[in-house]
Structure 1
Amino acid sequence: MGRILAIDYGTKRVGIAVTDTLQLIANPLETVHAKDVLVYLKAYLQREPVEAFVVGMPRNLLGNPTDSTQHVVGFVRKLQKEFPATPVHTVDERFTSRMAQQAMLAGGLKKKDRQDKGTVDRVSAAIILQSYLESRTI
């Protein structure tokens, strides 16, 4: 069984999270620059089998697209073109950054670590992935 890899895509930084081999638990993996994300993913897929990608889709409070949505849709297209054999699922990512901040605070991370945007992006990707995993079991 391959892992599931989640992506919190931003135009500057991309947070990446991955499941364990049993696809039970989401773990923050890495933060990479947006221009390097496809290279990073190619290298990762050479080392580890990946069954699917999950990409956080930005929405506003009413569920409508945001200014960032078009960038994520473009990235999803690139992902599908680059890895045609790997399914890509999108998940509503509303509130994941706020939830990541709260999780880091509850986890006892120091203020300096909580302010690191890369850490927030990785944790947000893990929250997106855990949300996807939980939605599959319903």
Structure 2
Amino acid sequence: MPRILAIDYGQKRTGIAITDELKIIASGLTTVPSETAIAFLKDYFSKENVEKVLIGEPKQMNNEPSESTPVIEAFVEKFKKTFPDMKVVRVDERFTSKMAFQTMIDSGLKKNQRKNKALIDEISATIMLRDYLTRYMI
């Protein structure tokens, strides 16, 4: 069965999360340098069956686009050109980084471990995916 993949794209790093085949569990997959995200996804899609990709949409509290929107929109366009048959769903990513950091605290990670921005990006992607599954798959 195909999976759903979530991408938390950033200027430096991209967090990636994936569901299990039954689309019940969202798990962090990895964090990659953003300039290598498309190459990583090409390789991943060649090995795994993915039916849909969620890409975070940054918004401010007033629903206006955030300052990082142009960078993410450029990635979305490149993604769609590279993978024209892949269904893309944009999801609100507000507060995912803060929630990821709180998750790290709640999990008992030490202060030094919580400085790992790559882990925050991976957890953020996982939170986006988990929220999507909760809202639309159950």
Shared fold by TM > 0.5?
yes
Residue number in structure 1 paired with 2:77 = 77
Normalising to structure 2: TM-score of the pair? 0.96
Please state how far the C-alpha of 1:25 moved relative to its aligned partner: 1.1
Please state how far the C-alpha of 1:104 moved relative to its aligned partner: 1.1
Write the distance in 2 (CA, Å) between the matches of 1:136 and 1:97. 22
Residue number in structure 2 paired with 1:134 = 134
Residue number in structure 2 paired with 1:125 = 125
* Amino acid paired to 2:23: Q
Give the alignment of 1:55-94 within 5 angstroms.
Answer: 55-94=55-94
* Residue 100 (structure 2) pairs with residue 100 (structure 1): yes
* Amino acid paired to 2:14: V
SS for the counterpart of 1:111 is coil
Which structure 1 residue ranges, 5 or more long, are not aligned?
Answer: none
SS for the counterpart of 1:118 is helix
Q: Which runs of 4+ in 1 moved over 2 A?
A: none
Write the distance in 2 (CA, Å) between the matches of 1:116 and 1:69. 23
Please state how far the C-alpha of 1:96 moved relative to its aligned partner: 0.3
Write the distance in 1 (CA, Å) between the matches of 2:39 and 2:135. 29
* Percent of residue pairs bearing the same amino acid type: 47
Residue number in structure 1 paired with 2:45 = 45
RMSD of aligned residue pairs (Cα, Å): 1.0
Please state how far the C-alpha of 1:137 moved relative to its aligned partner: 3.5
